[in-house]
A and B are shown apart, each in its own frame.
Chain A
Amino acid sequence: MRYELSVNGQTVAVDVAPDTPMLWVLRDHLDLTGTKYGCGGGYCGACTIYVDGNIARSCQTPVSTVADMAISTIEALHENHPKLVEVWEANNVPQCGYCQSGQLMAAAALLDRNDSPSDADIDAAMTGNICRCGTYTRIRAAIHEVAAYDATRKGSEEDAA
């Protein structure tokens, strides 16, 4: 089947079986390998993408279900969340890095809907993403740091206004 997809703001076409998960459409057919295969069962979160702004496990998302939706991947994340990416990098959050695409996507989604997440909010939002290297404490600290930065910036913008 031929599908027209909107991926990272671009319209692309692929010819694949309808049950093909977006994970493999991105990796095999669109050369977007930042989205990772970790389990194929929706357990680990390494394959996290956005579908119409909501996080989704791309290994559990058949291409046929998202043909008219806006798909966004890790490759585009830094455009909308430059501070998050910068903090991740500067704080040496990644170790092997393989799960970090999914971690960043989940963290960005959390910050999009909650500008000052508590530890409990972080637990709730990030527990679906496994990191075998064990970078959790740095992920938590990085999310708090980005939230604090955004709050300061917002505060100074309000002051200026």
Chain B
Amino acid sequence: MNIANVSRRNFLKGSGVFVLGAALPARANLPDGSITAAFEPNLFVALDTDGTVTVTSHRSEMGQGIRTAIAQVVADELDADWSRVKLAQAPGDAKYGDQNTDGSRSILMNYDRLRDAGATARLMLRQAAAAKWGVPLEEVSAENHMVAHAGSGQSADYGELAADASMLPVPEKVSRKSEAEHRFIGKPVVHVDNGDIARGKGNYGADVKLPNMATAVIVRCPWLGGGVAKVADPAPRPGLIGLEVIDPAPPAGPMFAPWGGVAVLAEDTWTALSVARELEIEWTASPNQSFGSEPLTAELKAMLESPGQTLFDIGNVDAAFDSDGQELSAVYATPFLGHMPMEPPAAVASVEDGKCQVFASVQDPQSTRGLVSQYLSMPLENVDIRVTLLGGAFGRKSKPDFVLEAVELSKRLKRPVRVQWTREDDVRHDYYHAASAQFHRAMVDEKGHPTAWLQRTAFPSITTVFSGQALMPAEWELEMGFTNLPYRVSNQRMESAGIRPGVRVGWMRSVCNIFHSFSANVFADEMAALGGRDAIEHRLEMLAEGGEMEVPGMQPPPGHAMDIGRLRHVIEKVRELSDWDRERQEGTGLGFAVHHSFRSYVAVVLEARMEAGRPRVTNSYVALDCGTHVNPDTCAAQMEGAVVFGLSLALDGEITMKDGMVEQSNFHDYPMLRMNEAPPTTVHVVPSQGRLPAGVGEPGVPPVAPALSNALFAATGTRYRSLPIRMA
């Protein structure tokens, strides 16, 4: 057999059953390893002789519907019968390309290659049939899991052709379907994991159980950089294995290293939790003990009073401010936020015989693999990272500190170990969304439009987590809604300032767009109000003229420059959707905000009023243009969720620190929006097929909080310039 000439597998498996590559005894609930099937033309498609198609998802599922979307794209080009498509979840492996499920770009980065993966398999099945039947390829069609030759009346199920197809060379070039031919792409397909989830069978990081596995609950030092000075041995009790002290992260920067603490190892979770609660620990000191969020916010606001680092400067802002005219200035402030995924971090690790296997809800199994390899000084190929469903993530689970804890403990215990974070651990040891402050100052003409605009932003940069020296916000943080606003002003300057925090900061869903969108959208509303203008009319006029806009500092890849026409369209759409020109009820206001982030365009209108001192949102409207999208129902769901996420942070989101310690601990003092406050949401997804795919998971959040602030101004006449929104 000429192996070089055949597809990756040169042999056939006799059975139609997938064999999991797990070294450990296979359990029904373990996430997948490598797939072996009769016909595997590429990394994403496996076809067995019984016709079962297994599509491999190399991106992590955290509710954004990516597993379904990947299957939709592959199955469409393959022309598969949807009921015969199964999903497998890829382990962390460079062969898949980027697996960092982050930045709302899974479809952007993979759309074409996934289409090619499906199309390749389809072509090879047709080739196999043509050869088998001795007919020209052009006369062989493939549709709905069936290859057919009309002339001879022959047909075969995909499964029947798997063996023959596997012997063929993989074609280098394939043609993709036209949009009109799509059967799954662009359709509101039901998510592949819904059935399991609705029956309690969804498998998350915390659900994995290995033979002889111990459970660890870790009591971590309340402040960053501290370690264990002294810990008293707990009384022996059934199920308790013992304690292990974990050293704090090196002072160079916490990165993703484990946090210092005491791990309680037990045979079951409750024993570990019970002992952890009673431990008496003395901690070592750390300079971070002097850190407080209130002084930090005061310092950020003080920084705004003097010039920061200039990022962009056109015209002459200072001269413009010296001239006559109406001047407007305002300071905005936003607090630290926690990710709060419903599933607190959890990971299972097994370090044994020079190998390490991890089962965890991680957003980037590939970088996790690299970190574990480095941490254990173990060759990369000996590290196997399997990905479960993620019970929410929002950026938290791209920081695999919890995996390294499990790895460390398994290495010491010589047993598989599951690390289970409590909710309190999660609230107190997060990588917080940074607190921030912004200053806006403008000269405003009679129509409410700025003739000069000075913007300043100050916040602790995410880069401080990676470097002991980092101080200033990074360019990519500033390109999130600060330097890339779609407004052209003849005199405009943008400045930034940074500060080192005494806690870990990290990216959370929408990242710096949250606070930048808040201040810019509220300030624009303030300018409109000063000119006595309708907020939407005013904003449409404020947009730069023309189509694509070059934005300062931003070097978008081809096809990703901000398109003012598309921005304008979502604004017009949300005006229509919300019936913006309707008569307002007494005490109720409509508020508008628009933001471009993650290459998508989102405009939001909220209807709100003040009710017993608390904002009450009674309706929400969202218009989204995310370019080519795979599942419009997923897009709508992400916008609905973004409204809730945005309102949670606008109404209650505030993590505070004092003496280096986080003051909140659970949902009672860091509340989430609940059913009784969730408004109805009407979503319009702009049909935008044919354009580059853009983000869906994150871009819905940034316009929500400013739309609420603007609605409350319309309702009450009071400006809310700080988050969370509270009555003065």
Q: Would you list which residues of chain B between 59 and 105 have a CB under 8 Å from chain A?
A: 61-65
- Please give the distance in Å from B234's CB to the nearest CB on chain A: 14
Q: Which residues of chain B come closer than 8 Å to A132, judged between CB atoms?
A: 340-342, 392, 394, 645, 648, 672
Q: Are B270 and A94 in contact (CB under 8 A)?
A: no
Structural contact, B678 and A133, CB atoms closer than 8 A: no
Contacts of A93 in B (CB 8 A): 194, 198
Task: State A94–B643 Cα separation when bound (angstroms).
Answer: 16
Contact with B along A64-84 (1 / 0, CB 8 A): 000000000111011000000
Q: How far is the CB of B418 from chain A (nearest CB, A)?
A: 10
A140-B675 contact given A21-B270, A33-B207, A132-B341, CB 8 Å threshold? yes
Q: Are B341 and A96 in contact (CB under 8 A)?
A: yes
A99 and B342 contacting across the interface, CB-CB below 8 Å:
yes
- Interface bits B157-201 vs A (CB < 8 Å: 1, else 0): 000000000000000000000000000000010110111011111
Of all chain B residues, the one with the shortest Cβ separation from A122 is B675
**Which of chain B's residues have a CB closer than 8 A to the CB of A27?**
207, 269
Give the nearest-CB partner of B647 in chain A. A134
Interface string of B628-650 (1 = CB under 8 A from A): 00000110011011111100100
A24 at the interface (CB under 8 A from B): yes
Contact B29 A89 (CB under 8 A): no
Complex CA–CA separation, A19 to B163 (angstroms): 57
Does B555 make an interface contact (CB < 8 A)?
no
Nearest CB of chain A from residue B52's CB, rounded to whole Å:
21
Q: Does B419 contact A (CB under 8 A)?
A: no
Interface presence of A109 (CB below 8 A): no
Q: Which of A64-120 contact B (CB under 8 A)?
A: 73-75, 77-78, 85, 88-90, 92-101, 104
- Taken residue by residue from 1 to 41, chain A's Cβ proximity to chain B (1 for < 8 Å, 0 otherwise) reads as 00000000000000011011100100111011111111111
Contact between chains at A24 and B269 (CB < 8 Å): yes
| B200-221 interface code vs A (CB 8 A; 1 in, 0 out) | 1111101101000001000000
Q: Is the beta-carbon distance between B634 and A134 smaller than 8 angstroms?
A: no
A88 to B200, CA, bound (A): 13
- Point out residues on B near A: beta carbons under 8 Å: 29, 61-65, 188, 190-191, 193-195, 197-204, 206-207, 209, 215, 238-239, 268-271, 273-274, 340-344, 389-394, 420, 422-424, 633-634, 637-638, 640-645, 648, 666-668, 672-676, 678, 680-681
- Whole-angstrom CA separation of A37 from B423 in the bound complex: 9
A35, B200: Cα distance in complex, Å: 7
**Does B194 lie within 8 Å of A88, measured CB to CB?**
yes
Contact B199 A135 (CB under 8 A): no
Q: Which of B389, B640, B666 contacts A97 (CB 8 A)?
A: B389
Scoring B61, B270, B644 by chain A CB atoms within 10 A of each residue's CB, the highest score goes to B270
The answer to whether A17 touches B667, judged by C-beta atoms less than 8 angstroms apart, is no
Contact of B64 among A36, A75, A95 (CB under 8 A): A95
Contact between chains at B198 and A100 (CB < 8 Å): yes
Q: Is A43 an interface residue (CB 8 A)?
A: yes
| A134–B268 touching, CB < 8 Å | no
* Contact across chains for B199 and A134 when beta carbons are under 8 A apart: no
The chain A residue with its CB closest to the CB of B215 is A28
Contacts of B648 in A (CB 8 A): 132, 134
Known contacts A97-B391, A127-B674, A137-B678; A78 and B198 CB within 8 A of each other: yes
Q: Are A98 and B200 in contact (CB under 8 A)?
A: no
A88/B198 in contact, CB under 8 A: yes
CB pair A127 B675 closer than 8 Å: yes
Pair A34/B201 contact, Cβ less than 8 Å = yes
Cα distance A61–B341 in the bound complex, in angstroms:
23
User: How many interface residues does A have (CB within 8 Å)?
Assistant: 61
Residues of chain A lying within 8 A (CB to CB) of residue B420: 37
Given A94-B194, A96-B390, A138-B637, A37-B344 contact (CB < 8 Å): yes
Contacts A17-B271, A33-B200, A127-B674 given; does A92 touch B340 at CB 8 Å: no
Total cross-chain contacts (CB, 8 A): 199
Please give me the 5 A-B residue pairs with the lowest Cβ-Cβ distance, nearest first.
A34-B200, A134-B644, A98-B391, A95-B63, A96-B63
Cα A133 to Cα B343 with chains together (Å) = 11
Q: Is A139 an interface residue (CB 8 A)?
A: yes
Q: Is the CB of B64 within 8 A of A41?
A: no
Cα distance A46–B204 in the bound complex, in angstroms: 13
Q: With A33-B29, A36-B343, A100-B198 given, can you name 5 additional A-B contacts, CB distance below 8 Å?
A: A37-B206, A44-B342, A95-B65, A133-B645, A137-B640
Of all chain A residues, the one with the shortest Cβ separation from B391 is A98
A130 at the interface (CB under 8 A from B): yes
A43-B667 CB under 8 A given contacts A27-B269, A74-B200, A98-B202: yes
B residues less than 8 Å from A89 (CB atoms): 190, 194-195, 198
B199 touches A39 (CB 8 A): no
Is A126 part of the binding interface, using a Cβ–Cβ cutoff of 8 Å? yes
A51 contacts across to B, CB distance below 8 A: none
A89-B198, A137-B678 are contacts. A38–B673 as well, Cβ < 8 Å?
no
Candidates A24, A74, A134; contact of B645 at CB < 8 Å: A134
Contact with B along A45-68 (1 / 0, CB 8 A): 010000000000000000000000
Contact residues in A for B390 (Cβ distance below 8 Å): 96
Contact assessment for B392 and A98 in the assembled complex, using a CB-CB cutoff below 8 Å: yes
Closest-CB distance, B727 to chain A (whole angstroms): 22
Q: How far is the CB of A107 from chain B (nearest CB, A)?
A: 10
**A138–B640 CB distance below 8 A:** yes
What is the distance, in angstroms, from B396's C-beta to the closest C-beta of chain A? 11
Taking the nearest CB of chain B, how far is it from the CB of A96, in angstroms?
Answer: 3
Which of B29, B200, B340, B674 meets A73, CB within 8 Å? B200
A135 to B342, CA, bound (A): 13
Could you tell me if A100 and B678 are in contact, using CB atoms closer than 8 angstroms? no
- In angstroms, Cα B270 to Cα A37, docked, is 12
